[in-house]
Structure 1
Amino acid sequence: MELDDGTADAVLLAASGRSLLIFTSAGCATCRLARQVLPVATLPVERLYWVDAERSGGLVQRYGVFHLPALFLVRDGDFLGPVQAPLREPALVAAILTAAEREPEELP
């Protein structure tokens, strides 16, 4: 599902379980790879949410996105922070499980 500056907060606050928020851009080669790899990977999340960084500057600023793709974990409307891992399933699973152990914060 695609999110933007106007929809992200309401959707993320209402989503139960783990959600992976993924910032990408059309001109980013690694982002195109993420769009191929992540939907078919078996990850410990209930859903993937995509944000076009070029169209959602407010979210980019609030989440402090510096490099693309940028991944963040949200659980039951709480922010668990960035997920930093190569776009390979075992590394992503480990990074998501590590992020899931963090103390939750309010969404940025």
Structure 2
Amino acid sequence: MELDDGTADAVLLAAPGRSLLIFTSVGCATCRLARQVLPAARLPVDRLYWVDAERSGGLVQRYGVFHLPALFLVRDGELLGPVQAPLREPALVAAIQAADGRASEELP
């Protein structure tokens, strides 16, 4: 599902379980790879949410996105922080599990 500055907060706050919020851009080759790889990966999340960084500058600023793609774990409407790993399933699974153990905070 695609999110933007106008929809992200309401959707993320209402989503039960774990959500992976993924910032991408059309001109980013690694982002195009993420759009191919992540939907097919068996990740320990309930859903993927995509944000076009070029069209959602407010979210980019609030989440402090500097490099694309940027991934963040949200659980039950609370931010668990960034997920930093190569775009390979085992590394992503481990990074998501590590992020899931962090203390949560309010969405930015």
Q: Which TM-score bucket, shorter chain as reference?
A: over 0.9
Task: Using the aligned pairs only, state the percent identity.
Answer: 88
User: Residues of 1 paired with 2:95 and 2:60: CA distance?
Assistant: 21
User: Residues of 2 paired with 1:36 and 1:58: CA distance?
Assistant: 25
Q: How high is the TM-score relative to the length of structure 2? A: 1.00
Deviations 1:57-102 (A, max 9, x none): 0000000000000000000000000000000000000000000000
| Structural mapping, 1:10-25, within 5 Å | 10-25=10-25
User: Residues of 2 paired with 1:31 and 1:78: CA distance?
Assistant: 24
* Moved segments of 4+, more than 3 Å: none
User: Residues of 2 paired with 1:60 and 1:78: CA distance?
Assistant: 17
Between the two proteins, the alignment pairs up a number of residues equal to 108
User: Residues of 1 paired with 2:106 and 2:69: CA distance?
Assistant: 22
The unaligned stretches of length 5 or more in structure 2 are: none
